[in-house]
Amino acid sequence: MRKQIAAANWKMNLTLGQAEKLLDNLLAIDWTPKTHQEVVIAVPAPYLFPALAKLKASGREHIYIASQNAYSEVSGAYTGETSAEMLQSLGVTHVILGHSERREHFHETDEVLAKKVDTSLAYHLIPIFCCGEPLSIREAGTQNAFVARQIEKSLFHLDVTSLQKVVIAYEPIWAIGTGKTASSAQAQEMHAFLRSVLAGKYGATVAEKMSILYGGSVKAANANELFACADVDGGLVGGASLVAGEFEAIIRALQ
Ligand code: PEP
């Protein structure tokens, strides 16, 4: 059975006190995960260490702390950056790579992202690799080719063992932080297409095992319908993950 994941992306939000309170609330949720279900919480970099300590103290299983980024190089004179090795040494298990906000504001290219994927995998971090088209591409009807190209350029150099460690998140840019969600039909169509692209390169058995999350204004009110789609294996959630009650409902919507 494919992994079903509810992933929170807190982005650059919350003070330490607010982050601690939110994490306490999330760790206190009375939720018994099925064996294939996971929760991943991507906190701002300064909160990784305290978040990991809280998670450990809670004894909760199937909940993981993620970084929102990692640098492409292993170490050296890269002031302000965080390496995959540092994250691994903290006990971080997952890293979001290729989020559209990083592609847009920090000019991360497909080529840089391919390197970040490699470096992250080398330090045993699970990349949550984001792809997704802007509104202009969706309106032109060329979203499939656009998104296929993103995964081909940043993931298709991987061998099959490495690829299977990656989680893909389809996040149409026009749906991120806009309150405008892709319909469940649009999400399902793209997820099935992505799975067919993966199958074309790595075979149907591998493609069937890959988790593909949907991201873009997921909230309590739409999570059930989205997660019920055959090829949607959970969600990457921004805004709604900052409200404990909303994110709890999203976790409970995992199938
Ligand atoms: C995101 O940050 O990845 C995201 C999907 O944000 P939101 O849920 O707020 O649209």
Q: Rounded to the nearest 5 degrees, what angle is found at the Cα of 191, between the Cα atoms of 155 and 127?
A: 35
Q: Tally the domains of the chain.
A: 1
Question: How confident is the model at residue 181, as a pLDDT?
Answer: 84
Question: How confident is the model at residue 178, as a pLDDT?
Answer: 85
| Among 237, 240, 151, 229, residue whose Cα is nearest residue 186 | 229
| Among 38, 122, 44, residue whose Cα is nearest residue 88 | 122
Q: How far apart are CA 250 and CA 234, in angstroms?
A: 9
- Answer whether 6 contacts ligand 1 (Cβ < 6 A): no
Question: Mean pLDDT throughout 241-252?
Answer: 98
- Predicted confidence band of residue 193 (pLDDT cuts 50, 70, 90): very high
Packed helices 220-227 and 184-202: angle between N→C axes, nearest 10 degrees: 40
Nearest CA to ligand 1 atom 1: 238
Q: How far apart are CA 82 and CA 212, in angstroms?
A: 26
Nearest CA to ligand 1 atom 6: 238
Q: Is the pLDDT of residue 177 over 90?
A: no
For 100-112, write each residue's pLDDT tens digit: 999 999 999 999 9
Per DSSP, 165 falls in state: T
Question: Mean pLDDT throughout 222-236?
Answer: 98
CATH number at 85 reads 3.20.20.70
Query: Residue 185 is part of which domain span?
Result: 4-252
Question: How confident is the model at residue 100, as a pLDDT?
Answer: 97
pTM passes above 0.75: yes
Per DSSP, 240 falls in state: G
Question: How confident is the model at residue 6, as a pLDDT?
Answer: 98
Question: How confident is the model at residue 13, as a pLDDT?
Answer: 98
Nearest CA to ligand 1 atom 7: 238
Task: Determine the distance from the C-alpha atom of residue 214 to the mean position of all C-alpha atoms in its chain, rounded to a whole number.
Answer: 9
CA 143–ligand 1 middle distance (angstroms): 19
Question: How confident is the model at residue 105, as a pLDDT?
Answer: 97
Q: Which of 5, 9, 130 to mutate for ligand 1's pocket (most ligand atoms within 8 Å of CB)?
A: 9
